[in-house]
Amino acid sequence: MEDGGLSRAAPGLGAWVAASRLRTLPASLAPVLIGAAIAYGDGAGHALAALAALLGAALIQIGANFANDYFDFVKGADTAQRIGPRRMVQAGLVRPQTMLRAALLAFGLAALVGLYLAARGGWPIVAVGLASILSGVLYTGGPAPLGYRGLGDVFVLIFFGPVAVAGTYYVQALELDWRPVAAGIGPGLIAMAILVVNNLRDIETDAAAGKRTLAVRFGVAFSRWQYGLAVLGGRAFLARRLGDSFAVVRVPDYPNVQVYAENQPVARTDASGAALVPGLRPYEKNHLGIEQKDLPLDARIDALEVDAVPYYRSGYDVEFPVAKANGALLRIVAADGRPVPAGATVRIDGRAETFPVALDGQAYVTGLKQSNWIRATLPDGRTCEFEVSYPQTDEPLPDLGSFVCVEIKP
Among 226, 160, 150, 225, CA closest to 191: 160
Phi, psi for residue 387 in degrees, rounded to 5? -105, 140
pLDDT at 5: 42
Single-letter amino acid, residue 241: R
273 C-beta neighbours (distance < 10 Å), count: 18
pLDDT mean for each 10 residues of the chain (410 residues):
45 82 88 93 91 94 89 76 74 87 92 92 90 85 80 88 93 90 88 86 82 86 77 60 79 90 91 87 92 84 88 83 85 93 92 92 91 93 93 84 90
Would you say the pTM of this structure is higher than 0.75?
no
| Residue partners of 324: CB distance under 8 A and separation at least 6 | 298, 299, 300
Instruction: Report the alpha-carbon distance of residue 309 to residue 49 in Å, rounded.
Output: 41
pLDDT at 3: 42
In eight-state DSSP terms, residue 357 is B
Q: Which fold has domain 245-324?
A: Immunoglobulin-like (2.60.40)
pLDDT at 141: 79
Q: Are 383 and 354 in contact (CB under 8 A)?
A: no
pLDDT at 209: 78
Could you state, in order of their start, the residue ranges of all structural domains in the chain? Answer: 2-231, 245-324, 328-407
CATH of domain 328-407: 2.60.40.2070
Instruction: Report the alpha-carbon distance of residue 142 to residue 194 in Å, rounded.
Output: 23
pLDDT at 240: 58
pLDDT at 205: 81
pLDDT at 241: 60
Domain 245-324 and domain 328-407, same fold? Reply is: yes
